[in-house]
């Protein structure tokens, strides 16, 4: 017998359904992630951004035409190009490492050795299973081991990893591990609370639920430190 890739066929009302199609649908609805690293081909950056935009424009035009839309209409005519530019230059720009923000570290001259928390960092991402938005807030904390990072860089780091097809668990891990690497310390914590439109606008169509994921490293694995961090998240900071 060959590998488990062998397809089992089901006949229903005379139509053939491949089991692989069923498994693919279930994987998307069950929010499955395959790795911590974003799956990229080796030739992911062989084409320039302009070349990618031109190709995506053609493909998206074909999708719209397949759906039956009239691209001669003034409102729709420019949509394929707009979507292509949006994909490459905006919502999926985090796929390209060249767009990663430069992170400068500074000496901790204040000798501030307590927890630093940056919370309510808004981000927009896209579910890699259905390519619809994930909208949420990230809360980050770290304890300096001699270096500190500019506050805005924490926001930019979140946005960089959010701007790619994502699974929330992977997004949380990518931010956490990179922040540990940048700061040179394991003492990093992240909590992400997000709403998934693949849940809200399709499938189960539940627009009230949200998903919470967390990453705790170093001292944040200790209950006292973890609880201190979570207490800070309860403080109202609206001005």
Q: What are the structure tokens assigned to 146, written together?
A: 């001699």
| Active-site hit among 89, 118, 130, 180 | 130
| Active-site hit among 129, 139, 166, 174 | 129
| Active-site hit among 128, 159, 166, 174 | 128
| Residue 130 a catalytic site member | yes
| Active-site hit among 57, 127, 139, 174 | 127
| Residue 198 a catalytic site member | yes
| Active-site hit among 139, 159, 166, 168 | 168
Q: Which residues neighbour 84 within 8 Å (Cβ) at sequence distance 6 or greater?
A: 52, 53, 54, 55, 56, 57, 60
| Residue 139 a catalytic site member | no
| Active-site hit among 57, 139, 166, 196 | 196
DSSP track, 172-218: HHHHHHHHHHHHT-S-EEEEEEEEEHHHHSSTT--SS--EEEEEE-G
Is 71:61 a contact under the CB 8 Å cutoff? yes
User: Do β-strands 133-143 and 188-196 pair in parallel, antiparallel, or remain unpaired?
Assistant: antiparallel
| Residue 129 a catalytic site member | yes
| Residue 127 a catalytic site member | yes
| Active-site hit among 42, 65, 198, 205 | 198
**Direct distance between the N- and C-terminal alpha carbons of the chain, in angstroms, rounded to an integer:** 65
Catalytic residues, which ones? 127-130, 168, 196, 198
């Amino acid at each position: 017998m060959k590998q488990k890739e062998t397809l089992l066929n089901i006949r229903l009302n005379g139509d053939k359904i491949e089991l692989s199609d069923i498994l693919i649908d279930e994987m998307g609805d069950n929010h499955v992630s395959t790795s911590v690293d974003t799956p990229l081909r080796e030739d992911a950056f062989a084409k320039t951004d302009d070349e990618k935009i031109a190709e995506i424009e053609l493909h998206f035009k074909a999708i719209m035409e397949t759906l039956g839309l009239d691209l001669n209409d003034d409102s729709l005519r420019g949509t394929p190009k707009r979507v292509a530019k949006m994909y490459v230059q905006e919502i999926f720009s985090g796929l390209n490492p060249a767009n990663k923000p430069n992170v400068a570290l500074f000496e901790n001259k204040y000798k501030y050795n307590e927890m630093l928390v940056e919370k309510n960092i808004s981000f927009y991402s896209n579910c890699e299973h259905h390519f619809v938005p994930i909208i949420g807030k990230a809360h980050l904390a770290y304890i300096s081991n001699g270096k500190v990072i500019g506050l805005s860089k924490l926001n930019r780091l979140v946005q960089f990893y959010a701007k790619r097809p994502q699974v929330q668990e992977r997004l949380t891990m990518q931010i956490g591990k990179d922040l540990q690497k940048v700061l040179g310390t394991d003492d990093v914590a992240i909590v992400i609370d997000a709403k998934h439109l693949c849940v809200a606008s399709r499938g189960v169509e539940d627009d009230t639920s949200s998903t919470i994921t967390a990453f705790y490293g170093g001292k944040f694995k200790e209950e006292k430190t973890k609880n201190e961090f979570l207490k800070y998240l309860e403080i109202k900071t609206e001005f």
